Each structure stands twice: as C-alpha cells, then as structure tokens.
Chains A and B, each alone.
Chain A
Amino acid sequence: DAKTTQPNSMESNEEEPVHLPCNHSTISGTDYIHWYRQLPSQGPEYVIHGLTSNVNNRMASLAIAEDRKSSTLILHRATLRDAAVYYCILGNMEYGNKLVFGAGTILRVKS
C-alpha cells in the first residue's frame, strides 16, 4: 500500500487559513489522493479527493504538486468546529477502493 507522511499536529487561529501538508513520494499514476477528517467520538468524514488537478468544494481546497509527490489541504477560514484529525490517504482502484489510513494530523484551532 502506498504511504503518506503528515505532521503529527498543527495549530491554527480561528478565522485564518490552514494549510495541511502531505507527502506521498511513492504515489503511482493511478492513485487518487483522498482527505478525510475525524472529529472526537465520530467516524471519519470525507473532505475532498483528487487525481492531478487542484480541486475545490464547499469544505476545502486540494492543491496537488505537479509531480504529485505532495499535496496540501487548504481550509480557507478555520473554525473551532474544524478541530479534528485529518487523514491524507492514497486510494487505488486495483485495491477495491480500500483506504489505508495513517496516523493523520491533529489540527488544533485557537479562538
């Protein structure tokens, strides 16, 4: 399974943008980059995913490096409700869309 590397934790101020990095140097051409987040006492929830081009949705933006060896999840204005563990995951059709989670990044948001 392809691996990702994320910082253990990050801190942000409320109302400011947050950039969560992810390295995936062994990514293959067919791997999608997925982001999920997990709030306390809840199951993970989908945030965004992409293959090559940058992606935007109502929750966040995903910026993918040209060589695809890294990506950044961007929360445009952090709120206290965004405090969670954020997981960057590589998913491949070959493995039946089985997602292999790492330890993720704990995001703390200060008011």
Chain B
Amino acid sequence: GAGVSQSPRYKVAKRGQDVALRCDPISGHVSLFWYQQALGQGPEFLTYFQNEAQLDKSGLPSDRFFAERPEGSVSTLKIQRTQQEDSAVYLCATLSEFWAPLHFGNGTRLTVT
C-alpha cells in the first residue's frame, strides 16, 4: 500500500514568507509525528498527534511554528515569517499502534533564501 506522503518535496521561500507543509499518513495510522532534520544531523522531534489531538509540541522551536491535524488524518506544519535557520528537511512519521515501527515520509526540503 501507499506509504507516508509529503508535499511539496522541495520548497524555496524568501525570508519572511509563510509556508505550509503537508503530510498524508498511511490510512488508519492514528499517531503522527513531525521531525526537523538539519544538514548532517539526526532528525529532531517537533510535535506529536494522536488522532486530532496534539499531545506534545515541546519540540516546536518558536511560536512561528504551528501544526494541525483537524480530522485526525492529514496534517499540516505551518511556519510563519520564515528565517534562514528554518532551512532543513521536515519529516513526517506515522504509526498504527503504540509499539509499531514508525513509517517516515521522504520529507520536504525547505530552503529559505
């Protein structure tokens, strides 16, 4: 079946622009995670949803970052007033049951110029 789908694959934004990154989870996967991966580093946790409830947003770096999952399926990560330090790959991961493996998408590479 289809895996986790993220769009767009690449996004170039001018500093100060708002961006929205989309994650389509595997059907039926109730848990959804967002990670940020800077070049040469491991992914860093941003936020976690269980269905539509955002249970953990401790990793969001500033109030410019906002994530939502209104119907418990598709999720959007929004970054307002982008800065150069926001340039990274943003990864979405989902899982079906609590101890099931995480399934990652291939990410959105955001470049802020």
Contact = CB atoms under 8 A, between A and B. Distances in A.
Contacts of A3: none
The number of chain B residues touching the other chain, given as a range, is 20 to 34
Interface string A15-52: 00000000000000000100010000111111001000
Interface in B38-55: 41-45, 48, 50, 55
B104 A44 contact: yes
B67 interface: no
Interface residues of A, number: 21
A48 B106 CA distance: 20
Interface in B1-38: 4, 31, 33, 35
A102 B43 CA distance: 8
Nearest to A39: B106
